Amino acid sequence: MFDNLTNRLSGVIKTLRGQARLTEANIQDALREVRMALLEADVALPVVKDFIAHVKERAQGQEVLASLTPGQAVIGIVHQEMARLMGGQNAALNFTTLPPAVILMAGLQGAGKTTTSAKLAKYLREQMKKKVLLASCDVYRPAAMEQLRALAQQIETDYFSAEAGQSPEQIALAARDYADKHFHDVLIIDTAGRLAIDEAMMAEIQRLHEVLKPIETLFVVDAMQGQDAVNTAKAFSEALPLTGVVLTKLDGDARGGAALSVRQVTGKPIKFAGVGEKVGGLEAFHPERMASRILG
């Protein structure tokens, strides 16, 4: 998953594990290595600084001094702090609303929004026994609507077909009406993505948010984009009351920067991870497990 980062950190871990006693200098050296590894993995600088400061403070405390295996204690602290950085615990979707629970999907084009909408529909149906309706408000790219319709068919989930000439808000409201009448528990609304953030795009999704009042507004972001992913997430979180993030393409050659920074930079929990192109490639995001994977 984050091979480079894991490889870099494994050297530090080996050194720490091998030491029966730890001096302040040993700890400093190890943390310098961790800092370099995180920066190379494209973790945002303020996040790295904060992280190292936390680990350092704890590593100099009783927890380590009193330990019979101080190296192991430091590794434990790095693990815990890494999980904390990614949110600590899994943040579940909120369904405390009258059905249909509306989930609005936001993000740049190519991030994996449409694929994730379908993956999420399948996940909710299979794992949570929800009746789901999928709808696309991307009136600019008929191919995007067709992509969602085809995915919906593949996963045998209902798809709301828009009428020609309807605006994104009209489609969204009609889809919600339909979901209401047909007793869907969840309505997932895919939206238009753009190649870059622009005002028209933000205004459109803000209007959709206003008329729909979704219980969940998920920002879908490509983990391969590293720091760019985090900057985009920040811009969206300032424009829209996001309730969570979906990190996609974690199965690719991601460097780890997005996974480790996005929570702290946006303040929004990572709720899911995309781990493959197929409709089954979605996992609930568990910071603890992710930290274990990163540390190898």
Binding site for GTP, residues?
Answer: 107-114, 190-194, 248-251
Q: Which is nearer to ligand GDP, 51 or 219 (CB)?
A: 219
In whole angstroms, what is the distance from residue 285 CA to residue 293 CA? Answer: 12
What would the two tokens of residue 147 be?
Answer: 């992509």
Minimum CB separation of residue 166 from ligand GDP in Å reads: 19
Annotated binding site: 107-114, 190-194, 248-251
Cα–Cα–Cα angle for 275, 281, 287, rounded to 5 degrees: 50
Q: Does 134 bind ligand GDP (CB under 6 A)?
A: no
Nearest C-alpha neighbor of 37 from the set 186, 215, 256, 292: 256
In whole angstroms, what is the distance from residue 251 CA to residue 273 CA? Answer: 9
Q: Does 114 bind ligand GDP (CB under 6 A)?
A: yes
**Binding ligand GDP by CB under 6 A: which of 257, 269, 274, 287?**
274
Bridge partner list, 187: 102, 133
Site string for ligand GDP, 242-271 (x = CB under 6 A): ------xx-xx-------------------
Q: Which of residues 174-233 bind ligand GDP (CB under 6 A)?
A: 193
Contact 213, 245 (CB under 8 A): no
Minimum CB separation of residue 239 from ligand GDP in Å reads: 17
Minimum CB separation of residue 115 from ligand GDP in Å reads: 3
In whole angstroms, what is the distance from residue 85 CA to residue 80 CA? Answer: 9
Cis ω before 142 (30° cut-off from 0): no
Q: Which is nearer to ligand GDP, 146 or 238 (CB)?
A: 146
**Chain positions contacting ligand GDP, by CB under 6 A:** 107, 109-115, 193, 248-249, 251-252, 274-277, 281
